[in-house]
Amino acid sequence: MRHVNTAFAALGRLARAPFATLMTMLVIGVTLALPAALHLVIKNAQSMSESWDNAFDFSVYLNADVTLAEAKRLADIVSQRADVENVTLIAADDALEEFRELSGFGAALDHLAVNPLPHTLVVRPGESINEISMGLLNEELGTLPEADFVQVDTAWVQRFHAILNIMQRAIAIGSSLLAVAIVVIIGNTIRLDIQNRHEEIEVTKLIGASNSFVRRPFLYTGLWYGLGGGLLALALVGYGLYALEEPVSRLSGLYNSPFRVLQLDIRESAIIAGTGVLLGLAGSWIAATRHMRRIEPR
Amino acid sequence: MIRIEEVSKRYPGGHDALKGLSLSVDKGEMVFVTGHSGAGKSTLLRLIALIDRPTSGQVIVNGQNTRRVKRRHIPAYRRQIGMVFQDHKLLYDRPVFDNVALPLVIAGLGHREAARKVRAALDQVSLLDKEKQSPETLSSGEQQRIGIARAIVTRPDLLIADEPTGNLDPDLSLEVMRIFRRFNEVGVTLLIASHDIALIDQLGCRRIALANGALQVEQEEDPVAEYVERLEAEQARERGPF
C-alpha cells in the first residue's frame, strides 16, 4: 500500500514536468526502438528465407538418351532412399512447355526441331538431413549412370543464414551497449533529481528516514521512465511498421509472394517494455544508492 | 533521559566544540541550554541527534549509548526523538498536512491512523485550520509551530530544539515556549538550546549554561555578563538563521 502511494506520488511528480519527462522517456524510447527494429528486420528476413526451403532440392538432370519410362523407374528407385523425402519427375516436354510460358521465347522455341531439355528429377531431401549427409546424397546422385549432372544451390542460402547470424550477434552487442546508455541516461536524470531535492532528503533523514525510504521514490521514478520509454519504443516501432506495410505488400505482390511483414508479438513487446522497466530500475538504483549515502544531515 | 559523560568533540581542523562536558537531564524535565554562539549548544544537540559522534566520552539517551548505535540503526534511533530547528526545516513543496505526517509516513502508519494523529498534533499547536495550506503562505511563527507539530506527531518521549525562537519576535517566542511547556506537563522531556535568557527566566526552568564547550562556572549575579548575553541574543535575532 505504501509502495502504491510512493509509486503514484513519483508519477505525479513526473506529470508536473511533462515536457522534461517526455524528453527523457523519448530518449529511452528511441534507444530501445533501435535494437527492436533491427530485431524485426532479422526476424522478417528469417521468415522470408524459410519459404525458400525448396532451394535445398537437388535437380538431377538426366542424360538426353534416357527415356521417360527409364526416368520414371529411376525416380521410384531414388525415392526409396531413407534420406529422400520425395522425388518429382519433370518430363522434358513439360519443362519445355513451362519454359515457353515463362521465358517469353515462345515463337523462337517453335523453330527447334527437337526438345533440347532433358528429363529432370527434383529430389527433396528428408527433413533430418544435415550438411554431411547432404554432400553424400549429392555425390551418390551424381554417380547414377543416368545422371548428367546434379545441381544443388544451397551455398547462397547458407551464406544468407550466416549473414543473418552475424547481424543477430551484432545487434546483441549493440543492444547491450544501448542498454548501458539507458542506464546512464536514467542514472544521470535521477542524479539531477536527487541534487534538486537535496534539502528534502536531508530533512527527511534528519527526522528518521532510512536510506531505503529516501531511495524508494527515486526507484519508482526510474521505473516510470523505463516503462514510459519502453511503451514509446513500442509505439515508434509500431508506427514504423505501419508506414512500411503498404510498400512491402506492394513489393511482395510484384513478386507473387505471400510475404507479409511480421509484427512484434506479445512476448517480444513484453520483453521490450520489461527491459525498459529493468533498465530504469537499474539506473535509478545505482544513482540513488551512490548519492543517497553522501547526503547526510549537517 | 539524557546522560552526557565526559564528552569531548573535536571537529576536523582542530576546533574543540566540547571539552569534557558532563550533564544529565531527568525524565520529564524541561531544561534550557544557554551560552554564547560557539559555546557548544548546537554540538551538544547534534551529538544527541546522532548527526555527529563524540570524539570521546559517552552520550546516553533513553538508556541507549549512542556509541553503540550502528549507522544503519540511526534512522530508527532518530525516530524516537522529536526535533525542532531554528529554520523550521519544512518541505515547501507540499502542504502543511503532509509535512506533519512525514514522520508517520516514515514509520509506515496507515493513512487513517496518520490523519488522526496529524490533526491531533496540529490541534496542539492551534493550526488545525491550516492543514491544506502550503507552509510558504504561513508566518514564521506559524511555520515554527508546524515544525513543532511534526516533531511531536509521533509522541516522542524526548524533544530537542535548537534555537526554536531564534527567528521569532518576543510574543511569538513566548507562545512557542508555552506550547513546549504544555508538552512538558504531559511528561515529555525537553532539551532546548536558546539565547533568550529573559524568556527562560520567565518560564523558570532549569538552565545549563555552557561556555567554551564546558559547563560555565556559576557566577552569582554578574550584571555585566548578563548584559552582554542579552545583547548577543538581540544580535543573534537580527542576524537571522546561522
Statement: residue B241 has pLDDT above 60: no
Q: Convert the pLDDT of each residue in A102-139 to its tens digit.
A: 777 777 777 777 888 888 888 888 766 666 777 788 88
Spell out the domain ranges in chain B.
2-80+156-239
Query: Can you tell me the distance from the alpha carbon of A190 to that of A198, in angstroms, rounded to the nearest whole number?
Result: 12
Categorize the per-residue pLDDT at B36 as very low, low, confident or very high, splitting at 50, 70 and 90. Answer: confident
In CATH terms, B2-80+156-239 corresponds, of 3.40.640.10, 3.40.50.300, 3.30.465.10, 3.65.10.10, to: 3.40.50.300
Residue ranges of domains in chain A? 2-51+158-292, 64-145
DSSP annotation of B16 reads E
Chains A, B: CB contacts under 8 A, how many?
47
Residue B106 grid cell: 516514515
pTM above 0.90, yes or no: no
Q: What is the mean pLDDT of residues A241-265?
A: 84
pLDDT digits (tens, 9 = 90+) for A17-69: 899 999 999 999 999 999 999 999 888 888 877 666 555 778 888 888 888 88
Mean pLDDT, chain B, rounded, equals 87
Stretch B214-219: mean pLDDT, rounded?
72
On the question of pLDDT at B242 being above 60, the answer is no
Helix (H) or strand (E) holding B22: strand B15-25
Please give the Cα distance from B140 to A64 (Å, whole number).
Answer: 109
Please state which of the ranges A188-192, B148-152, B201-205, B227-231 shows the lowest mean pLDDT. B227-231
User: Which of B76, B89, B107 lies nearest to residue A206, judging by beta carbons?
Assistant: B89
**pLDDT higher than 70, residue A154:** no
Q: Which CATH class is domain A64-145?
A: alpha beta
SS3 B163: coil
Distance CA B187, CA B179 (A): 13
The pLDDT, as a whole number, for residue B134 is 92
Number of helical H runs and strand E runs in chain B:
8, 10
With cell 524541561, the residue in question is B30
User: Would an 8 Å CB–CB cutoff place A69 in contact with chain B?
Assistant: no
Question: How far is it, in rounded angstroms, from Cα B50 to Cα B71?
Answer: 9
Average pLDDT value for residue range B55-78: 90
Burial grade of A131 (CB within 10 A; 0-12, 13-18, 19 or more)? exposed
Using the Cβ of B113 and the Cβ atoms of chain A, whether some distance falls under 8 Å is answered with no
Looking at the predicted structure, is the pLDDT value of residue B219 above 70? no
CA distance A206 to chain B (A): 7
Q: Please name the residues in contact with B167: beta carbons below 8 A apart, sequence gap of 6 or more.
A: B86, B87, B140, B144, B237, B240, B241
Nearest CA to CA, how far is A207 from chain B (Å)?
6
Q: Are B9 and B17 in contact (CB under 8 A)?
A: yes
Q: How far apart are the first and last CA of chain B?
A: 28
A295 pLDDT more than 60: yes
**pLDDT over 70 at B233, yes or no:** yes
Q: What average pLDDT does this structure show over A216-240? A: 95
pLDDT at A7 over 90: no
Among B72, B78, B90, whose Cβ lies nearest the Cβ of A208? B78
pLDDT of residue B111: 86
Say if A200 is an interface residue toward chain B (CB within 8 Å).
yes
Give the per-residue pLDDT at A58: 82
Tell me the shortest Cα–Cα distance from B133 to chain A, in angstroms.
18
